[in-house]
């Protein structure tokens, strides 16, 4: 059964079409990544699924319940960790967790035991009775996740779980998410604008661009669809003859998507190891000196470029 | 949602707010000192104007219930700032994505404002006692004064939280509280009896909820107060509290449309 189903979700804010027909499905127990630049509609999608925002049209089921018709049933099954922390700064970590449990109808010894267990799980046991104002960014984030888990939800939403964290805290958060994912029953939907994060954490990703899902699949599938690897050849002296060099490469059977940048010629080939000797001998025949050759397997960056026709970094910077 | 769940959530949210406030020593100090300063300052300022006593033996006796009410309704009007802080920290979103009742969120803030006002009213009455103010209505009189303070704070807290959910910005909230608060204070019998007001202000003041609280409390303090009138005014304040709390709950829709 699918834990999350989104069908043609649309949402318009003053003059901005935030969601323009978002559709995807997340299987039970899976870690699913919504990947896209800032402003692509990821957070709006998550807010809609977490019953915070009502879509203008479309339908969404979370844990089998309709988010518009039965929001309270959905709320009992989900944990929602907002992009910006939802921690009450004036309360201690323990108080934050106890209150969230009580909102979910938990009480007494079982609640206290669950809170202890979570404080241990996210490594906040020693800080449990300190006011959260003094927590580091990483600690607040971990408390957020514990808050989202207190009632043992079936589906956990993590909206940009590592944005704003330093590299060390980010690495720790990745380990945390991987550990949660190991619990078979928990379905995790995470959004990120870090390609490497989606690549590492998500079993399947949907790439979101301008309010739409442009492609969905496992990171490996998406990269495999690009067929092949990217070869970059750096030439020595070119004397303005770089275009001729590109033409030489383009004439080869295996090379496609040939492009030029400075003294670099890039081409996509099915298999780098086989293609490099052919490319080098062609360039050698044309009288070019080669300074270096690199091959790279396609990244999600390339996937993004391929499916949207836009560069991820540029789009990301433009979204703010 | 079951009533039991609603009350339980409201109760725990009140605990949260009071506990957080107890961690703010400066807030506590100001909450205690400010109303006392008002009573002393205004009491001195107008003490020589005999016409202002409005049936009381001293001006301070006339003024004390007024300051209790002024303090309660100011406290209520500003209480929405707590909602804005919670909105900014995403605490509200966290509650809304959980099965928290919107009404419980509002009610907890409203009751918190009422509790604060009652504590301040008690302190004011005790200071008044030292300055010669007697609650001629006896024990029942004390309860009426405290009820007036609680209800005034709660009625305005509901309104304030509704505005907070609509504007969601501190600056707009401050402007709105001032825009409503100061005129209501001056179109009321807080500082002077209605008899000494220009007629049109006296007429207008009858529709001012602040005035309902002032009359209810003053009747309980002065000799020969009109209990029926106090009861009616408290009833009006209960109704006002219900209306503004529902208004604030309804304002969650506007907020959720905007996010």
With a cut of 50, say whether residue A100 has pLDDT above it.
Answer: yes
Residue A75 has pLDDT above 50, yes or no: yes
Average pLDDT over chain A, rounded to whole? Answer: 89
A7 token code pair: 């069908």
Name every residue in A having a CB less than 8 A away from some CB of B. 13, 47, 50-54, 72, 75-76, 78, 80, 82, 84-91, 95, 99-100, 102-105, 131, 147, 151
CA dihedral B163, B166, B169, B171 (to 10 degrees): -50
For A241-249, the CB contacts below 8 A with 24+ separation are A241/A288, A244/A286, A245/A283, A245/A286, A245/A288, A248/A282, A248/A283, A248/A285, A248/A286, A249/A279, A249/A282, A249/A283
Residue B227 or residue B151, greater confidence: B151
> By CA distance, what is A145's nearest residue in B?
B94
Q: State how far the Cα of B54 lies from the Cα of B38, in Å rounded to an integer.
A: 19
When divided into structural domains, chain B yields a total of 1
Does residue B259 surpass a pLDDT of 70? yes
pLDDT recorded at residue A258: 86
**pLDDT of the residue at A311:** 73
Over range B96-113, report the average pLDDT.
Answer: 96
Inter-chain residue contact A103 with B100, CB threshold 8 Å? yes
Distance from CA of A113 to the nearest CA of B (A): 18
Percent of chain A with pLDDT over 90: 51
Sequence-ordered list of residues with C-beta below 8 angstroms from that of A29, at least 6 positions apart, any chain: A3, A184, A185, A186, A187
Selection from B120, B155, B152 nearest residue B217 by Cα: B152
Q: What is the mean pLDDT of residues A113-119?
A: 96
Cα A11 to Cα A45, A80, B180: the distances in Å are: 9, 20, 35
In angstroms, the separation between the Cα of residue B124 and the nearest Cα of chain A is 29
Q: Which residue of B has its CA nearest to A89?
A: B89
Give the CB-side neighbour count of residue B241, counting CA atoms within 13 A. 26
Contact A306, A226 (CB under 8 A): yes
Q: Tens digits of per-residue pLDDT, B26-78?
A: 999 999 999 999 999 988 888 887 777 777 888 999 999 999 999 999 999 99
Q: Residue A313: is its pLDDT beyond 80? A: no
Q: What is the pLDDT of residue A319?
A: 54
Of A32, A8, A50, A143, whose CA–CA distance to A89 is shortest? A143
Cross-strand partners of A295: A231
Task: Report the pLDDT value the prediction gives residue A314, as an integer from 0 to 100.
Answer: 74
Q: What was the pLDDT predicted at A269? A: 86
Minimal CA separation from B152 to chain A, in Å: 27
- Higher per-residue pLDDT: B163 or A241: B163
Verify whether the Cβ–Cβ distance A51 to B259 is below 8 Å: no
Decide if B12 and A99 are in contact by the 8 Å CB cutoff. Answer: yes
> Which DSSP string do the residues of B121-182 spell out, in sequence order?
HHHHHHHHHHTT---TTHHHHHHHHHHHHHHHHHHHHHHHHHHHHHH--HHHHHHHHHHHHH
Q: Select from B5, B94, B100 the Cβ nearest to the Cβ of A82.
A: B94
Percent of chain B whose pLDDT exceeds 90: 82
What's the rounded mean pLDDT across residues A77-99? Answer: 95
**Nearest-neighbour CA in chain B from A55: distance (Å):** 9
Residue A100 with chain B: CB contacts under 8 Å: 94, 98
Average pLDDT over residues B80-100: 95
Give pLDDT, residue A92.
97
Shortest distance, CA A231 to any CA of chain B (angstroms): 45
Mind listing the pLDDT tens digit for each residue in A27-74?
999 999 999 888 889 999 999 999 999 999 999 999 999 999 999 999
From A220's Cα to the closest Cα of chain B, the distance in A is 33
* CA closest to B98 among chain A residues: A75
**pLDDT single digits (tens) B178-193:** 999 999 999 999 988 8
pLDDT for res A320: 45
Q: How many CB atoms lie within 10 A of CB B243?
A: 13
Chain B residues touching residue A105 (CB < 8 angstroms) = 5, 99
Record the tokens describing residue B119, joined without a space.
Answer: 């504590």
Q: What was the pLDDT predicted at B163?
A: 96
Distance CA B62, CA B179 (A): 26
Dist CA B76 CA B72 (whole Å):
6
Q: What is the mean pLDDT of residues B227-234?
A: 94
pLDDT exceeds cutoff 80 at B7: yes
CA distance B68 to chain A (A): 29
Nearest to A82 among B8, B86, B90 (CB): B90
Are the C-beta atoms of residues A156 and A144 closer than 8 Å to each other? Answer: no
**Chain A residues in contact with B23 (beta carbon < 8 A):** 90, 131
Instruction: Delineate the domains of chain A, giving CATH numbers in brackets.
Output: 2-223 (3.40.50.300), 227-297 (3.30.70.100)
> Can you tell me the mean pLDDT for B121-143?
93
Structure tokens at A245: 């060099």
Q: For A94, which residue in chain B has the nearest alpha carbon?
A: B16
Note the pLDDT of residue B8.
96
Q: Flag if B23 and A131 touch (Cβ within 8 Å).
A: yes
pLDDT digits (tens, 9 = 90+) for A159-205: 998 888 888 888 888 888 888 888 778 999 999 988 788 889 999 99
CB contact under 8 A, A103 and B96: no
| Residue A54: closest C-alpha in chain B | B257
A298 pLDDT band, cuts 50/70/90, is confident
Task: Provide the token pair at A115.
Answer: 């809170």
Asked whether the beta carbons of residue B90 and residue A76 sit closer than 8 angstroms, the reply is: no
The pLDDT value recorded for residue A181 is 86
d(CA B250, CA B233): 26
CA distances from B120 to B14, B72, B124 (A): 18, 8, 6
Q: Which residues contact B222 (CB under 8 A, 6 or more apart)?
A: B55, B56, B61, B62, B136
| H or E element, residue A144 | helix A137-149
* CA distances (Å), origin A1, targets A144, B28, B43, B86: 28, 54, 72, 37
Cα–Cα distances in angstroms (integers) from residue A22 to residues A8, A74, A220, B137, in the given order? 5, 19, 22, 67
Task: Please tell me which residue, B252 or B1, carries the higher pLDDT value.
Answer: B252
CB contact under 8 A, B19 and A91: yes
Distance from CA of A91 to the nearest CA of B (A): 6
Q: Please indicate whether residue A2 or residue A242 has the higher confidence score (pLDDT).
A: A2
pLDDT at position B92, please? 95
Residues of B with CB under 8 A from a CB of A: 1, 5, 8-9, 12-13, 16, 19-20, 23-24, 86, 89-91, 93-100, 256-259
Point out the residue among B13, B94, B259 whose CB comes nearest to the CB of A147: B94
Rounded Cα gap, residues A76 and A64, in angstroms: 12
The whole domain housing B48 covers 3-258
Q: What is the ipTM of this complex?
A: 0.91
Would the CB atoms of A72 and B20 count as touching at under 8 Å? no
Q: Which segments of chain B does DSSP mark as H helices, in order?
A: 3-22, 25-45, 59-78, 80-88, 91-96, 102-130, 138-167, 170-186, 199-205, 209-221, 227-258
How many pairs of residues across A and B have Cβ atoms under 8 Å apart? Answer: 73
* Pairing label, strands A256-261, A229-235: unpaired
Percent of chain B at pLDDT above 70?
100
What is the reported pLDDT for A230? 83
Q: Do B94 and A86 touch (CB under 8 A)?
A: yes
């Amino acid at each position: 059964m699918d834990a999350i189903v989104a069908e043609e979700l649309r949402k318009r804010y003053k003059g901005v079409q935030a969601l323009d027909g978002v559709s995807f499905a997340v299987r039970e127990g899976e870690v699913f990544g919504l990947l896209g630049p800032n402003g692509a509609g990821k957070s709006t999608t998550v807010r809609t699924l977490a019953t915070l925002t009502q879509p203008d049209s479309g339908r969404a089921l979370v844990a089998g319940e309709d988010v518009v018709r039965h929001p309270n049933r959905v709320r009992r099954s989900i944990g929602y960790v907002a992009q910006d922390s939802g921690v009450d700064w004036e309360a201690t970590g323990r108080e934050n967790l106890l209150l969230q449990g009580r909102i979910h109808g938990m009480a007494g010894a079982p609640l206290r035991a669950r809170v202890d267990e979570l404080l241990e799980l996210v490594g906040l046991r020693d800080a449990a009775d300190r006011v959260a104002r003094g927590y580091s960014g990483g600690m607040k984030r971990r408390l957020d996740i514990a808050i989202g888990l207190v009632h043992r939800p079936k589906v956990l939403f993590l909206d940009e779980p590592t944005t704003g964290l330093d590299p060390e805290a980010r690495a720790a958060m990745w380990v945390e998410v991987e550990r949660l994912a190991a619990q078979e029953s928990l379905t995790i939907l995470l959004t990120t604008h870090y390609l490497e994060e989606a690549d590492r954490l998500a079993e399947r990703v949907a790439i979101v661009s301008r309010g739409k899902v442009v492609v969905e699949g496992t990171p490996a599938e998406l990269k495999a669809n690009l067929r092949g690897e990217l070869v970059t050849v750096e030439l020595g002296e070119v004397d303005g003859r770089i275009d001729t060099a590109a033409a030489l490469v383009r004439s080869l059977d295996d090379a496609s998507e040939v492009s030029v940048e400075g003294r670099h010629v890039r081409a996509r080939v099915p298999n780098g190891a086989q293609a490099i000797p052919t490319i080098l001998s062609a360039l050698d025949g044309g009288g070019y000196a080669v300074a270096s050759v690199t091959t790279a397997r396609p990244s999600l960056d390339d996937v993004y470029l391929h499916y949207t026709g836009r560069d991820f970094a540029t789009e990301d910077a433009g979204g703010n | 949602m079951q009533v039991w769940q609603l009350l339980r959530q409201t109760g725990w949210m009140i605990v949260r707010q009071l506990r957080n406030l107890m961690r703010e020593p400066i807030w506590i100090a100001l909450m205690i000192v400010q109303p006392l300063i008002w009573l002393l300052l205004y009491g001195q300022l107008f003490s020589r104007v005999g016409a202002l006593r409005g049936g009381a033996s001293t001006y301070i006796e006339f003024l004390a219930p007024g300051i209790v009410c002024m303090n309660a309704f100011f406290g209520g009007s500003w209480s929405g700032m707590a909602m804005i802080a919670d909105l900014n920290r995403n605490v509200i979103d966290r509650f809304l994505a959980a099965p928290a009742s919107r009404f419980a969120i509002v009610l907890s803030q409203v009751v918190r404002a009422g509790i604060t006002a009652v504590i301040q009213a008690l302190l004011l009455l005790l200071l008044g006692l030292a300055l010669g103010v007697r609650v001629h209505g006896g024990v029942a009189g004390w309860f009426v004064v405290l009820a007036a303070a609680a209800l005034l704070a709660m009625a305005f807290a509901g309104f304030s939280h509704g505005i907070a959910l609509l504007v969601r910005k501190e600056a707009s909230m401050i402007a709105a509280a001032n825009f409503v608060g100061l005129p209501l204070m001056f179109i009321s019998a807080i500082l002077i009896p209605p008899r000494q007001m220009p007629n049109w202000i006296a007429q207008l003041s009858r529709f001012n909820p602040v005035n309902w609280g002032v009359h209810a409390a003053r009747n309980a303090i002065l000799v020969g107060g009109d209990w029926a009138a106090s009861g009616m005014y408290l009833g009006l304040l209960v109704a006002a509290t219900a209306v503004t709390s529902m208004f604030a709950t309804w304002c969650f829709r506007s907020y959720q449309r905007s996010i």
